[in-house]
Chains A and B, each alone.
Chain A
Amino acid sequence: MVAAPIRPEPTTTQIRYNQVDDFQAFRTSRPKRVSFGTSGTEIHWNATNYPPLKKQFMVFATDNIKREFGALVTTFTAERMSSVTTRLNERHTEVVAQLSSPALRRLTKIAALEANWDSEGAESPAALAIARAGLLIQLVNENLASSGKSIHPPDTSAPLHNGGIQLEWWSSALDIETYIEPNGSVRCLFANKLPDGAEDYDETGDLGISDAASEIADRLSAE
């Protein structure tokens, strides 16, 4: 009888923070696989995009986020990858349900766009913008949940010509547009709907991602 191979259990304590130089490479490399959800965002890079690492992905975990980088970078050897993915799937059953949302599916497709997606020289969405979008979605939902409100994933999204991401939240009294630039900066536009059908705008300057999430959640909570 052949003994079953021993698989070492991956743990979150194996997560290490990436060097700044390494992270710069992530910002320009094309992700191989992107999955969005309300509890986390998973982005896989092909080993050929970044040869020093066997496998690599960025995971936004609900319980542990390093906000100055916007993500944790985890390195696993190939033999651990399948078991880690399984564990993520087990924990993220809520994520699977949310992936059925047309809005999140659209965002996933946007993340997959190639350069020149508009035939007019548009950039492909930057990895950092994708990562920040996923983080912002998560933080908004965390803020809503902490105040006893229902979570509210973005209602739609759009790519920006320069490689950024635009997220939108809609409600009966308010539309919120959030622009995530390729360099990771975030700003918001709050379009308050007036009785005559017109809109009144509040525009922010660049915000920290936590402040943006807090502001968005506050505005949605006020409904």
Chain B
Amino acid sequence: MREPVSERVTITRDHFLYRRIASFEMEMRDGQPYVFSSAFRRDPDEAGLSVYVEGIETAEQARDHGQPYHGVARLSASVPLDNNMPVIHQPLADAHGHAEIMEVNGDGRKRKLARACSVPILPTAMPVDSKLKVVDLDD
């Protein structure tokens, strides 16, 4: 059920959050998606880490704020909230479910968030035309 978006929602431990990820920000480990802590890096010019609130947005909508080949990681809001990382609902005009995880400082916190993720939408390879030739030494 979609929550009303005219007001900010208080994010609680019962909420789930979506984080958009690129193909090189995860891989499969023992048959399970493994999200790298690098997927939770914070841009220096941003105060918090952008996520989307499940229930206000779907995983597909969260992905569609980026590129079609992006994936989506999902984690319980209890993880940041229980580890001194507030989660603030910051709705945007085109992203009502936008929120930010604050205080994502230090490598340990990034890893803790990454280790708590499932991946409901796997990323696909970004279509690129790399000019860089990657070869074995035998070539």
Bound complex: CA of A10 vs CA of B24, how far in Å?
A: 39
Q: A117-B126, A203-B108 are in contact. Are A33 and B38 (CB under 8 A)?
A: no
Q: Binding site of B, secondary structure by majority: helix, strand, loop or mixed?
A: loop
Inter-chain contacts of B34 with A (CB < 8 A):
156
Q: Binding site of A, secondary structure by majority: helix, strand, loop or mixed?
A: mixed
Bound complex: CA of A201 vs CA of B34, how far in Å?
A: 18
Q: A114-B128, A118-B25 are in contact. Are A199 and B115 (CB under 8 A)?
A: yes
- A81 part of interface (Cβ distance < 8 Å): no
Q: In the complex, are the beta carbons of B130 and A159 less than 8 A apart? A: no
- A95 part of interface (Cβ distance < 8 Å): yes
The distance from the CB of B133 to the nearest CB of chain A, in whole angstroms, is: 5
Q: Which 4 A-B pairs have the closest CB atoms?
A: A118-B22, A112-B132, A201-B108, A158-B36
20 further contact pairs, Cβ within 8 A, besides A35-B134, A117-B128, A177-B111? A34-B132, A34-B134, A35-B136, A37-B137, A89-B138, A92-B137, A99-B137, A111-B134, A114-B128, A114-B131, A117-B24, A117-B126, A118-B24, A159-B24, A161-B38, A168-B36, A177-B37, A187-B107, A199-B115, A203-B107
Query: Interface on B for A, CB 8 Å cutoff?
Result: 22, 24-25, 27, 29, 34, 36-38, 41, 43, 66-67, 69-70, 106-108, 111-112, 115, 126, 128, 130-138
